[in-house]
């Protein structure tokens, strides 16, 4: 009976292959975490964009008298009464709006709407639109 010495793998070969496999799985895990975080960021940003756009549309659809009163009251980002807060997806959003008269040209009011929120960092989106006076 003859014995064969080259059957199977050595312990060193198995350990090296497990190490290589572990690095590959670790890379996939890091990619998955990054992808999940990016997806969550996109979801929160889309919510902020939607509420900013909704406020711009509300302001643009107001009658001239109401809009004129708001333009006089909301002249800066810190104006009182020109903000609101809401929650979506477990995140609290702060929305502010203000106007600039005769900007960008005479006879036109610029509307700025800014939405702030905090998830794993401070985030902001600002939208600008123009309406006739």
Q: What local confidence, expressed as pLDDT, does residue 90 receive?
A: 84
Measured CA to CA, the distance from residue 108 to residue 15 in angstroms comes to: 72
| pLDDT 10s digits, 12-34 | 999 999 999 999 999 999 999 99
| pLDDT 10s digits, 72-86 | 888 887 877 889 998
- Scanning the chain, the segments in alpha helix (DSSP H) are 11-60, 64-73
Q: What local confidence, expressed as pLDDT, does residue 3 receive?
A: 58
Run of H or E residues at 100: strand 91-100
Q: Which of 108, 111, 103 is nearest to 60 (CA)?
A: 111
Q: Are 38 and 30 in contact (CB under 8 A)?
A: no
| pLDDT 10s digits, 91-122 | 899 999 999 888 888 989 899 999 999 988 89
- Look at the alpha carbons of 64, 69, 71, 72 in this order and tell me if their dihedral is positive or negative: positive
Q: What local confidence, expressed as pLDDT, does residue 24 receive?
A: 93
pTM as predicted: 0.74
Q: What local confidence, expressed as pLDDT, does residue 73 receive?
A: 87
Measured CA to CA, the distance from residue 101 to residue 86 in angstroms comes to: 28
């Amino acid at each position: 009976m003859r014995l064969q010495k080259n059957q199977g793998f050595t312990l060193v070969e198995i350990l090296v292959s497990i190490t290589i496999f572990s690095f590959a799985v670790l890379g996939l895990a890091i990619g998955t975490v990054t992808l999940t975080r990016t997806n969550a960021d996109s979801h929160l940003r889309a919510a902020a964009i939607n509420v900013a756009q909704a406020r711009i549309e509300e302001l643009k659809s107001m009658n001239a008298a109401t809009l004129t009163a708001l333009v006089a009251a909301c002249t800066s980002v810190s104006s009182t009464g020109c903000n609101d807060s809401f929650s979506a997806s477990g995140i609290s959003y702060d929305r502010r709006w203000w106007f600039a008269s005769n900007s960008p040209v005479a006879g036109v009011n610029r509307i700025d709407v800014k939405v702030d929120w905090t998830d794993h960092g401070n985030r902001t989106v600002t939208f600008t639109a123009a309406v006739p006076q």
